[in-house]
A and B are shown apart, each in its own frame.
Chain A
Amino acid sequence: MRIVCPFCGERELGEFTYLGDARPVRPAAGSSEDEVFDYVYLRDNVAGPMSEYWYHGGGCRAWLKVARNTLTHEISSVEPAAGVGAAKVGA
């Protein structure tokens, strides 16, 4: 599997580290215990298209958001995760 880093270009899998599901959003302060528990611990075991965080630690050290099909490993999009690069903060 290869990932096309938006900063570096196409690179081998060995340069990247997998973090996990990019969908969970941190619940607002004061959310219920169930919502926080869900956010921290509960993950879907997706068979098909999934949005994931990957870290290009062996290259430009940017965090990436990758849309990948977990059945075929087909990658449909790669974009910088929020906060990558000073220019993209808040964008």
Chain B
Amino acid sequence: MAEFSWIARSPLEHALVVGAHGARGTEAGVWLTEIRNFDLIQVMARRGKTAELAKAAQARFGVAAPETPKAVRVPDATLIWSGPDQFLVLSNAGKHAIEPLSQAFSQSASLSDQSHARVLISVSGEKARSMLAKLSSLDLHPAAFPVGTAAATSVDHTSINLWRGNDWPDGQAVFNLLVFATFAGSLWHTMLDAAAEYGVDIRHSEELA
């Protein structure tokens, strides 16, 4: 049998061009950062095992898994609500990759490794909300969408998981979104178009915000 050497590549490898995009002359209004090399595990309670899953999640992470559209931060992971009796575990460096989590949830949940199936994009900047308002029907005002709020929703006819991370030290809101890998290029270009008038600062990073 042939030996394969798999190289993990970002689905945005070609679409993402680091640097400035759109309006120039002033400070960029929107910061688009693709976060690469993360572990993302979908955890779904098995039939009638919701209580067991809650216990196992508490034991593993020291906090209750979100039962409403919230994203819960623990020191080395983020638990993101993705629907009734299910959530996503976002981490890096293998701390909560599929193997350790399979052990932790072997009695209560079915797991699916989504690490290479999704693209994680972090949107911030003074005009982040104005840009997202062109694409999303959700109210992302701080009063309606405070830090830690999550949503499973659609933008540009594409399903995404959206949540508000901790603000930057300067108070800027941070919106994180997970999109299916094969839709990422399309959504990326849509966001670039929506953000162009504000000026965009494009980067990629391996640091989970």
- List the interface of chain A (C-beta within 8 A of B): 7-9, 11-12, 14-15, 57-62, 80, 84-90
Contacts and interface: CB of A to CB of B under 8 A. Distances in A.
Given A58-B159, A86-B44, A86-B49, A7 B153 contact: no
B65 to A, nearest CB: 13
Contacts of A9: 69
A89 B82 CA distance: 18
Given A8-B69, A11-B137, A61-B83, A86 B47 contact: yes
Contacts, number: 60
Contact of A59 (B53, B85, B153): B153
Contact of A80 (B49, B69, B84): B84
Given A60-B82, A85-B85, A87-B84, A15 B44 contact: no
Interface residues of B, number: 20
A11 B84 contact: no
Interface of B: 44-50, 53, 69, 82-85, 137, 151-154, 157, 159
B152 A87 contact: no
Given A60-B84, A61-B83, A86-B44, A8 B153 contact: yes
A21 to B, nearest CB: 24
A86 B137 contact: no
A7 B137 contact: no
B152 to A, nearest CB: 5
Nearest to B136: A12
A78 to B, nearest CB: 14
A91 to B, nearest CB: 10
A15 B154 CA distance: 7
18 contacts: A7-B69, A11-B153, A12-B137, A15-B153, A15-B154, A58-B157, A60-B82, A60-B84, A61-B152, A62-B83, A62-B84, A84-B84, A85-B84, A86-B46, A87-B45, A87-B50, A89-B47, A89-B48
